[in-house]
Amino acid sequence: MSYTVNAWLEDGAPRLRLINTRSGDASLIWDFPKEVINQESRYKQEMQKLFKQLLLIACADDQGEKQ
């Protein structure tokens, strides 16, 4: 499956949208909370959460292609 990645900064906070090119639906909507940027432990948690979501999407797509 293919995706369009939309990434930008909004008031200094990163935003990410992963759009399925076939359906046009957003497979991932991620908005980094601006107040977390200066809190190292919460920053790490948010980054781990994002990578976990991306990994789950990649694994689900891999399973769909094998079937």
Question: pLDDT exceeding 70 applies to what percent of the chain?
Answer: 90
| Predicted pLDDT at 66 | 57
Residues contacting 4, CB < 8 A, separation 6+: 18, 19, 21
User: pTM higher than 0.85, yes or no?
Assistant: no
More confident residue, 21 or 37: 21
Residue ranges of alpha helices (H) inside the chain are: 40-66
Is the pLDDT score of 41 beyond 90?
no
**Residue 10 three-state SS:** strand
CA–CA distance, 26 with 14 (Å, rounded to integer): 17
Residues contacting 9, CB < 8 A, separation 6+: 15
Radius of gyration of the chain (CA): 14
Of the candidate ranges 3-7, 8-12, 30-34, 61-65, the one whose mean pLDDT is the lowest: 61-65
Q: Confidence band (pLDDT; 50, 70, 90) for 37?
A: low
